[in-house]
Amino acid sequence: MKPTVARRRWLALFLALFALSQGALWLAYYGGGAKALVGDEQGYQARALGILAGGEWMQGTIWPPLQSLWLAALYALFGAHVWIAQLAQSALFIACAGLLRDFWRRFGGSVAAANGAAALFLLNPAIAAYAHWLWPETLHLSLLLAALCLLARQRVFAAGAAVGGAILAKSLLSVFWPAFLLALVPRGNPRQGPRLVAGFVLGLGLVTAPALWHGWREYGKPMIADSSIYNLWIGLTDRWRSDYVEDMGGVTLPEFLASGATPQQRNAIYLDKVRALVEERGGAPLLASQFGRQYFRLFSAKTPLVSQLPGLACAGHLSAYHTPPWLTRGLSVANDALHALILAAAAFGIAAWRRRPDRMFVLVALFAAYQLALFALIHVKARFLLPLLPFLCGFAASFLCASRERGDADAAIARTLPRLAIGAVLAVLLLFLAFAGPWLDGLCAG
């Protein structure tokens, strides 16, 4: 078969599967009546409507402001309807796939691997469904991927602005952002370094300055949002390996907010509670229990999509969707299959990656290490894996596309026996974390 014919058939298959996936998700959301807003979705919606009504653009210190501002802007232009936000975020979701394709090609993957990474990202219903929800995940991810692509092109001011926007969407990068400066180390002309760093910091500073000034004016501290101590307390007191099982986040938040008049007072009170808990349980046993629970929650195949489908509450199902059994089952099977494929293939791709680490590789590795270290302690939900999923899709696609017999082999992959053995061990570990949590917890037993 000619390469052109084969590519057209693959493209036709992808488009058919993408249309099927999107159709199933839209049907799931609206077919049996609109899905109920869950958790923080309600807060983002309420704050957006409050902004439209003339309220403060920054409301509280727990959630960064960008998602509410984004929703308010969409509603002001096109009407206050959730489906307006869903259409806009679906466009961002597709843009994320394009950015991932561009980044992975520059990262060192082949054209086929870059296309495959974008395809895996687009076809996974658990990823695509984020565009339908009012959480800031899709907006944050689009800004993060845009920042990486801009850094790869040395567009430092725009990259800094994108990182600043990502921080305003989710505070995950508040501590990590200086690591982006590693990508600005000049190759041949060291005198370019200060100029590049200054451009990046200027872009980031201009975007975040209004929020930082608001924090300084209101609380005497240049802050955007600070839920770190609250999330640390919840993370240390979580009991289960699956999220939404006797979840205490929503119950504890009002207590946290009522514990002090300012963020500094609340953080001090709950930091004392954290210290008391560490003294009571002991540092080593407490850390061991964290390692035995947190990564099951992070890599869980019970993604936010599955958690919101109809099911048993004792297993962490919110039944926010009103899907018929056949659609519930179809989405669950597709979720599990794509989740397992991406994790397992990514494990082999990481183990078999043989390109010499460059600055972008180091940055991505540090980002992954930062997230894994952070989520060893703080409150974890399965949706917090999303920022790592584009890179997992990239490694997965590179491994799946690698072939010694074909001319389009991915030169980044070395399928040697030792590397494959390491990949197999890592794949088994990730799949165990993804699927074994409910079994280990004995959810719904008896």
Collect the ranges in the chain with pLDDT lower than 50: 404-405, 407-408
pLDDT for the residue numbered 443: 87
| CA neighbor of 130 nearest in space, from 194, 236, 38 | 38
Residue 239, phi then psi, degrees to nearest 5: -115, -30
Cβ atoms of 291 and 376 closer than 8 Å: yes
Secondary structure (3-state) at 413: strand
pLDDT for the residue numbered 404: 47
Secondary structure (3-state) at 284: helix
pLDDT for the residue numbered 227: 87
Who's near 75: CB < 8 A, 6+ residues apart? 48, 49, 52, 81, 84, 85
**Long-range CB pairs of 98-102, under 8 A, 24+ apart, other chains included:** 99/142, 99/145, 99/146, 99/148, 99/149, 100/145, 100/390, 100/393, 100/394, 102/149
- Angstrom distance (rounded) from CA 431 to CA 392: 14
DSSP output for 107-131: HT--HHHHHHHHHHHHH-HHHHGGG
Cβ atoms of 401 and 315 closer than 8 Å: no
pLDDT for the residue numbered 405: 46
